[in-house]
């Protein structure tokens, strides 16, 4: 059996000796990031609390560097593991800096007096997650996102070997989500920090994780690398997605396509059609689109939202038969929307399709996006 820095053997977790998830087997090398995913209420937080010894294991063992976690003293555990869970820390009249400084208590004496090196560690941790400006603010009066970053600084200040995080990005905006996960990757790289966390954002889990654990029912259903987990159809099944779609390969989540015969044909490609597809979906307008290569940036969204996608094989010439199919679909639609300002060498078929729509007297809407807000020009039948 491969030697892992962190591993579990037949770990069963639950409450009041009643099993919730049974026989969990995890193996992580030092410096790896593990993300737990699964539906709400699946038991992700229960697993994290059990690893952190906030809940007693029902059975099984958790090992950290070959040492049984259950045999460690509280002080020893604190020097090896930091925990940031969703429960709010109880503070009374504490500044953000004072909250971060509590991460040094496993290393101070009985009276908790910070040394100069301890204070330096507090300073570095706050700078790392960009909360230095909050140092004198009352911890209870900062935003949820700021509070989350202060708690991460506190955990970093603890200098752990492993960090446990429960939904750490829940209250962060896009900027701070990316910064937060970038900090974790940097700590993994520089300090070989091992991270075990739960995330709701599947696209972030796919990008940041070395390993993923999928929870469903009483079992940890799958454990492996993201490319082993994010296979077409699996996550839709795991989360019982019946309305809309989630594309595991691209991380795209879309609302349901509008049913009915297409009344609009969209000429797009290279990613310029995505906003138009979503606008039509919001307006409850059924549409068809093409001609798109299977590796085109627009293709995954088109596949999810269009009633029909005229599709060409990647790196293959567009056949006359496919062009004819697209022309017939244009004939059936009342209007054509073209998202292309200019057509490339391999898009000659779409240029011909636009010319055909004009010659057929179709109403055409041109969407031009020169890096500015969308500009629309209506071209009437008689123009």
What one-character-per-residue DSSP string does 173-234 give?
-HHHHHHHHHHHHHHHHHH--EEEEE-S-HHHHHHH-SEEEEEETTEEEEEE-HHHH--TTH
369 or 29: whose pLDDT is higher? 29
pLDDT at 8 over 90: yes
Report pLDDT for 90.
64
Q: Which two tokens stand for residue 211?
A: 């390993």
**Interatomic CA distance for residues 158 and 106, integer angstroms:** 8
N-terminal to C-terminal alpha carbon distance within the chain: 74
Q: Which two tokens stand for residue 94?
A: 């504490």
Report pLDDT for 383.
40
pLDDT band at 88 (very low <50, low <70, confident <90, very high): low
**Range in 33-37, 120-124, 235-239 with the lowest mean pLDDT:** 235-239
pLDDT at 36 over 90: yes
Report pLDDT for 203.
87
Report pLDDT for 128.
84
Report pLDDT for 379.
43
Is the distance from CB of 315 to CB of 343 less than 8 angstroms?
no
Report pLDDT for 297.
92
pLDDT at 114 over 90: no
Mean pLDDT of 95-110: 86
Report pLDDT for 380.
44
pLDDT at 241 over 90: no
pLDDT at 374 over 70: no
Give pTM, 2 decimals. 0.80
Angle between helices 116-128 and 144-157 (to 10 degrees): 140
pLDDT tens-digit series, residues 242-288: 888 888 777 778 899 999 999 999 999 999 999 999 999 999 999 99
From 221, 191, 186, select the one nearest 47 (Cα to Cα): 221
pLDDT at 373 over 50: no
pLDDT tens-digit series, residues 215-237: 998 999 999 999 999 888 888 88
């Amino acid at each position: 059996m491969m030697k892992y820095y962190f591993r579990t053997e037949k770990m069963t977790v639950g409450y009041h000796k009643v099993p919730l998830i049974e026989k969990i087997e995890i193996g992580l090398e030092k410096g790896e990031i593990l993300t737990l995913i699964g539906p709400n209420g699946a038991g992700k937080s229960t697993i994290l609390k059990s690893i952190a010894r906030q809940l007693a294991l029902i059975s099984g063992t958790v090992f950290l560097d070959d040492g049984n976690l259950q045999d460690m003293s509280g002080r020893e555990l604190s020097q090896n593991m930091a925990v940031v869970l969703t429960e709010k820390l109880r503070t009374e009249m504490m500044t953000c800096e004072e909250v971060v400084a509590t991460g040094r208590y496993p290393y101070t004496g009985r009276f908790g007096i910070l040394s100069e090196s301890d204070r330096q560690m507090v300073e570095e941790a706050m700078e790392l997650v960009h909360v230095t400006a909050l140092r004198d603010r009352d911890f209870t009066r900062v935003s949820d996102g700021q509070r989350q970053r202060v708690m991460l600084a506190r955990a970093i200040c603890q200098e752990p070997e492993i960090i446990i995080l429960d939904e750490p990005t829940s209250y962060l905006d896009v900027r701070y989500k990316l910064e937060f996960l970038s900090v974790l990757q940097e700590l993994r790289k520089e300090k070989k920090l091992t991270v075990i966390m739960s995330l709701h954002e599947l696209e972030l889990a796919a990008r940041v994780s070395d390993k993923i654990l999928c929870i469903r029912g009483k079992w940890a259903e799958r454990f492996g690398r993201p490319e082993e987990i994010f296979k077409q159809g699996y996550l839709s099944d795991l989360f019982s997605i019946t309305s809309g779609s989630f594309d595991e390969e691209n991380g795209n989540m879309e609302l349901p396509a509008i049913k009915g015969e297409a009344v609009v044909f969209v000429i797009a490609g290279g990613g310029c059609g995505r906003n138009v597809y979503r606008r039509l979906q919001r307006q409850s307008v059924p549409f068809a689109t093409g001609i798109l290569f299977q590796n085109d940036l627009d293709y995954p969204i088109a596949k999810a939202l269009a009633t029909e996608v005229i599709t060409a094989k990647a790196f293959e010439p567009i056949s006359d038969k496919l062009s004819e199919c697209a022309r017939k679909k244009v004939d059936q639609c009342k209007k054509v929307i073209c998202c292309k300002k200019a057509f490339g060498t391999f898009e000659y078929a779409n240029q011909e399709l636009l010319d055909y729509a004009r010659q057929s007297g179709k109403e055409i809407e041109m969407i031009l996006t020169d890096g500015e807000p969308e500009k629309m020009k209506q071209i009437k039948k008689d123009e």
